Structure 1
Amino acid sequence: MSVRNIATAVTAAALGTLLATLPATSASAAPVPTPAGWESQALGLPAAQRIAQGEGITVAVLDSGVMTDHPALRGKVTTGPDFYKDGLKPGDPRWGRHGTAMASDVLKVAPKADILSVRVLDDKHDRGLDEGPSGPSPVGQGIDYAVDHGADVISMSLGGEMWGASYDDTEVNALARAAQKGIPVVASAGNEGDSFNEASYPAGYPGVIAVAALQKGGTRAAFSTVRTYNTVAAPGVEIVSAKHTGGWAASSGTSPAAALTSGVVALMLSHNGKLTPAQVRAVLTRTATHPPGGRNALVGYGPISAAAAVRASAKPPADGTSPVKYRGKEFFAEPDGTPKTTHPPLETDLVTIGLGAAGAGLLMLAGAVLITRAGRRRAAAQG
């Protein structure tokens, strides 16, 4: 997710000091592994990495940019275009904070994979609250660029939240092209589970592997959005990740959960490069630890297992997906020109007045909830 929703928190001052002072490497040296935490055991990474480490796989990280000179990322990152086009450059506080962390989380799981960084947002604004530059969707453009430039997996730890969650035709079309090229797409489910629980895109689009966040112990993190589009879940609390200014810090959110899952997909593809997106999804869901009933809106099919997924990718289930001819009713009326993702404006004054009054009340309620939530988060950070 964007920087507001990553809920960054260093687990202890001593840990932060130690990690930040780890020695830097020369440009020709191998990357320094990002320190592993509880997520390594939860995912079964040691066993998975004995089988595959992401060799030959490129993961496109669509985010706020990636600092290529971080010790954990040296020699691993190719930088693509900046589709956000706000004039910011590396070194600005709003450039690369979130993206650098997410890229390091991918490589924590798949250390021999490569990263294609495509900038589609900044580190200050939430998509939805501030859509950024006008024009075509930066996310849609980023997906198309990744498809055309060798990405094997597309990782998007981002999404629209609160008042701005929205469906975008250009993004849907770009995702269709990714599916046609056989590229799995992973996205974070959203961090609104403890407030308004708004839907988040791109996680909500068909075909996207939407990842919920787990806390230690394997249960859902309180902030993780609860939606029927959730596919699987992965660790997302106090995940040590690279800082864009150097060193490491712990972060929480469905963002690291999605990045770690993208790394698992990279392991699967390096073990079996013929996997289709449908097979990737099937293997992840079948090898996950299912909740009662098989799946639910909290964690989808449950916590993923990197080791089990990589082993199962050698012999995946058959891909039964194929184009299907539409056999429904035929409608011969001419299109009326109304976009199918929006509604025509209301024309009733009384409804407008009622909505205005309701909106004022809703804003008061929202303010109270946000203040309460902020206080709760501050208390947790101080504790």
Structure 2
Amino acid sequence: MTTDDKANNGGTEPRPANRARQASRQGPRPVEPRPLRYMVAALSQSHLDAMGIGVRALDAEGLRLLLDNDPEVVVHRVLAASRAEPPRQGEPGPASPGSVAFPPVVVAEMTAEHATGLRARLPQVHIERDRSLVHCEAQVPPRKRKTAPSAAPPPGVESTFTFLVKGSGGTPLPGAVVSLTGSCVPGHAVTGPDGRATVTMAGETPETIAEVVVTPRSGHWSARVERPALSTSRDNLIELTGLAETVDGFPGRQTLGWGQRAMGLDRLPKGFKGAGVTVAIIDSGAAIDHPDLRGRITSGIDLVGERAAGWADDVSGHGSHCAGVIAAADDGVGIAGFVPGAAVHVCKIFPGGRFSDLVEALGHCIDDQVDVVALGLGSRHSSPLVAAKIDQARAAGVACVVAAGNDGGPVAFPGNLPTVLTVAAVGKIGTFPETSGHAAGIQGPLTPEGYFSPRFTCHGPEVDVCAPGVAVLSCAPPRDYAAADGTSAAVPHVAGLAALVLAHHDDFRHGYGRRDASRVDRLFQIIRSSCVPIDLGDPWRTGAGLPDVLQALGTSITGTAGGAATAWALSDRLADELAAAGLSVPTPVPAPGLHAEAVTAPGDGLAGTALAGEAPGHPNGSAPGHPSAEGQMSLDDLIGANGQAGAWRPNGPAPAGADVMPAGGSENGPVSAAGPARTPGRARTAKQNAAASPIGDRAHGGVHADGMPPAAGLPCGMPGMPAAWGAQGVPMGQEPLDGVSGMGGVAGTAGTAVPDHDGAGGLTAVAAFAWLAREMGAAGLAAGQRADDLLD
């Protein structure tokens, strides 16, 4: 049986009426279970033969006619093959690398019993539930209280509470969500035009209410009250703090979100805007009339509504928030996105989105040659057809960045697939009011910088990276701003970075320009390798760590106008790192320190010491680095895959007596080492190793697989260091640890520690200098430069 909205040409027909629109009021009818929706696809003959199923395959048209003529089946629509591929059959499971095969899919309703019968009767057909998707936005309250095994509250006991919510200046706030948590089932209500909302809590008394959280639609911080003293006889007043009251000059003066600053976007030189890249946001639409989005989003498609332009209406605000983080205009007011110069395409599938809508949206992304897709959605159920579509997207060069999920459990689907980049959320103390609802997600441990893994974020070995996902400030419909939590708020940070890398990283102008799976894998590898580890005691909560913009772009920013400013910023932060480590003290006059005399080698690098040592192999196996090279090489070429040192020869052969170290395994012997050492590498998960480049990770890795901290020296009073900072250095000038490759130069004699009274010297073995080497390499300030030129 076929519904009236089905197309006659076998393609995607006009969509049914908006699922969010309520039917007009009529007479009552009994409440019955909703019909189940399924996706049905015909398996290919090769798949049937491989599985030993001795039946003839159905073609797409035969499958459609079969279901049309079944009185127990209601066909809704057919998802046609993407325009980028010829119509053909294919398996619903993940396709082989480079494959673009994907079967047409029939979306139909039937009973579970009938679906089971079809599976038994038609082994050449794949049938799966077309399940609903959910936003990966943190719910309030995020903590789940333990309740009695009986979830139903006892009858006869109830309490009704009325809340009056006011904002800045005492104005009533409509549209705010009031959430109560008690001993039984949570309760929710939305404020009306007068700012009032009434919540009836079954099985509760005022004394059993544990928490009240009020989340405004926009313009204000949320509020949270633990153990509230509530009244059932009068209004319970809650006043919210305006965003403009805590963000200086906002929104009249532009601000970058704390997450963008944490990832280093504020240190990126001007001119890196993501031009030439297309980002798709599969979400709830986007408010294209918002001041920060006006003119930034010019194309889209509505897959759940009845209007072609419905993608420009964002009822929930979820898609607009994501769009703001990625691509808000850099115009001096409001906020700015990661890639204000990129093209943005909106695929609206919420409210009411299902697996079939996601499949259809990904098909549009493939057809439109989108570069990056932001997926702030998920499900507790898996879908072989969705997994196959994502694999098809990867084969077409479309990179999917996916939220880990928000229920605090294992990573949700499709974030648990190996073909996507999965993002967990982190928060940071001091980026939101202590009395806000964002504080409910705080849990220990905390890093010294104040980072924490929020209660809601899903975790597991599938997590690739983490990104800011608590109190993220971005656009809200129609023309306002809101602070939101969730792994879906973390996803646009990484999707924006991915667009920056594709637009500006040298690799995608040369070796990885072709739209295929290797392009996506290389992009994910660069992002993972750029991460600064966040140690919260559980690597499954943070993956490789927090991506860094400058490290991800690497030498691509060498020679830009912002290079000198970046160098001074690094110098300032170096002083802070030294002070925090207790290795320097502020004094009103230049303080005596120590320095090591550096010998400048013909390779325009710092001289080091030929040391005998051992480079530990990586526990997950090794990928070869660059065994040797003649002539000038950049800092990127130092590092092999999986955090191992790829030996090199800058500006000619290595010095006499210094052997070249291979990238993997363990080898004793002299190694040429010079300058600041790299930071330790992270052991990669199996998911990350599967996507590792066979030539090693040229972007950024560590030099030790066993986590041993490398050493580094500061050469001869580095220029740019404030004279008032005297270094409490090591008297004899620590040499680098065993097996560490240096930044540049031909090996020379060891530095000798001599007294120095300029207050800017000192040679020490602390992580601050390893950090500086990493930052300078990422900023393109290390390769081919003399030490005394780095901070000019």
TM over 0.5: yes
Compared CA separation, residues 238 and 113, structure 1 to 2 (3 A): same
Answering whether residue 399 of structure 2 is matched by residue 176 of structure 1, we say: no
Cα shift readout 1:221-257 (whole Å, capped 9, x = no counterpart)? 2211112211000111111110122111111111111
2:259 aligned residue (39, 42, 49)? 39
Paired residue secondary structure (1:109): coil
Compared CA separation, residues 249 and 159, structure 1 to 2 (3 A): same
Higher strand share: 2
1:370 counterpart residue number? none
CA distance in 2, matches of 1:59, 1:280: 14
Shift of 1:258: 0.4
Shift of 1:319: 3.6
CA distance in 2, matches of 1:43, 1:4: 21
2:427 counterpart residue number? 215
1:281 counterpart residue number? 524
Cα shift readout 1:130-159 (whole Å, capped 9, x = no counterpart)? x4xxxx611111111111113111111111
1:380 counterpart residue number? none
Cα shift readout 1:346-370 (whole Å, capped 9, x = no counterpart)? xxxxxxxxxxxxxxxxxxxxxxxxx
Answering whether residue 333 of structure 2 is matched by residue 118 of structure 1, we say: no
CA distance in 1, matches of 2:550, 2:404: 23
CA distance in 1, matches of 2:250, 2:549: 30
1:305 aligned residue (522, 535, 548)? 548
CA contact 2:136–2:377 (8 Å) conserved in 1:
no
Q: Comparing 9-18 with 107-116, which one deviates more in the overlay?
A: 9-18
Compared CA separation, residues 200 and 86, structure 1 to 2 (3 A): farther
Compared CA separation, residues 158 and 313, structure 1 to 2 (3 A): farther
Compared CA separation, residues 3 and 67, structure 1 to 2 (3 A): farther
1:246 counterpart residue number? 479
1:142 maps to a residue whose letter is A
Cα shift readout 1:259-305 (whole Å, capped 9, x = no counterpart)? 11100011101113344111111111112123559982111111111
1:2 maps to a residue whose letter is H
Answering whether residue 381 of structure 2 is matched by residue 166 of structure 1, we say: yes
2:301 maps to a residue whose letter is P
CA contact 2:302–2:311 (8 Å) conserved in 1:
no
CA distance in 2, matches of 1:267, 1:218: 25
2:359 counterpart residue number? 140
Structure number with the bigger relative contact order (C-alpha 8 A, sep ≥ 6) is 1
Compared CA separation, residues 76 and 49, structure 1 to 2 (3 A): farther
Shift of 1:309: 0.9
CA distance in 2, matches of 1:13, 1:285: 37
Paired residue secondary structure (1:224): coil
Q: Comparing 265-274 with 8-17, which one deviates more in the overlay?
A: 8-17
CA distance in 2, matches of 1:176, 1:313: 29
CA distance in 2, matches of 1:205, 1:86: 32
1:42 maps to a residue whose letter is A
Compared CA separation, residues 214 and 312, structure 1 to 2 (3 A): farther
CA contact 2:375–2:401 (8 Å) conserved in 1:
yes
Paired residue secondary structure (2:488): helix
1:149 maps to a residue whose letter is D
1:230 aligned residue (463, 480, 484)? 463
2:274 maps to a residue whose letter is G
Paired residue secondary structure (2:474): strand
1:13 aligned residue (230, 241, 244)? 241
CA contact 2:411–2:462 (8 Å) conserved in 1:
no
Higher helix share: 1
CA contact 1:268–1:313 (8 Å) conserved in 2:
no
CA distance in 2, matches of 1:278, 1:300: 17
Paired residue secondary structure (2:366): helix
Answering whether residue 296 of structure 2 is matched by residue 68 of structure 1, we say: no
C-alpha RMSD over aligned residues: 3.2
Answering whether residue 368 of structure 2 is matched by residue 149 of structure 1, we say: yes
Matches within 5 A, 1:228-377: 228-272=461-505, 273-274=508-509, 275=512, 276-291=519-534, 296-311=539-554, 319-320=693-694
Question: Alignment identity in percent?
Answer: 26
CA contact 1:121–1:138 (8 Å) conserved in 2:
no
2:580 counterpart residue number? none
2:317 counterpart residue number? 97
CA distance in 2, matches of 1:58, 1:221: 31
Compared CA separation, residues 89 and 79, structure 1 to 2 (3 A): same
CA contact 1:233–1:303 (8 Å) conserved in 2:
yes
CA contact 1:65–1:117 (8 Å) conserved in 2:
yes
Which 5+ residue runs of structure 1 have no aligned equivalent? 24-31, 322-383
CA distance in 2, matches of 1:295, 1:288: 16
2:585 counterpart residue number? none
1:119 maps to a residue whose letter is K
Cα shift readout 1:328-359 (whole Å, capped 9, x = no counterpart)? xxxxxxxxxxxxxxxxxxxxxxxxxxxxxxxx
Shift of 1:192: 1.1
CA distance in 2, matches of 1:86, 1:218: 44
CA contact 1:283–1:312 (8 Å) conserved in 2:
no
Paired residue secondary structure (2:377): coil
2:201 counterpart residue number? none
1:378 counterpart residue number? none
CA distance in 1, matches of 2:281, 2:137: 19
Cα shift readout 1:102-146 (whole Å, capped 9, x = no counterpart)? 011112111211210001221xx6x6xxx4xxxx61111111111
CA distance in 1, matches of 2:497, 2:293: 18
2:720 counterpart residue number? none
Shift of 1:2: 1.9
Shift of 1:57: 1.0
1:95 maps to a residue whose letter is V
1:38 maps to a residue whose letter is W
CA distance in 2, matches of 1:302, 1:220: 11
Paired residue secondary structure (1:221): coil
CA distance in 1, matches of 2:246, 2:277: 32
TM-score, normalization by structure 1? 0.68
Compared CA separation, residues 312 and 137, structure 1 to 2 (3 A): farther
Paired residue secondary structure (1:84): coil
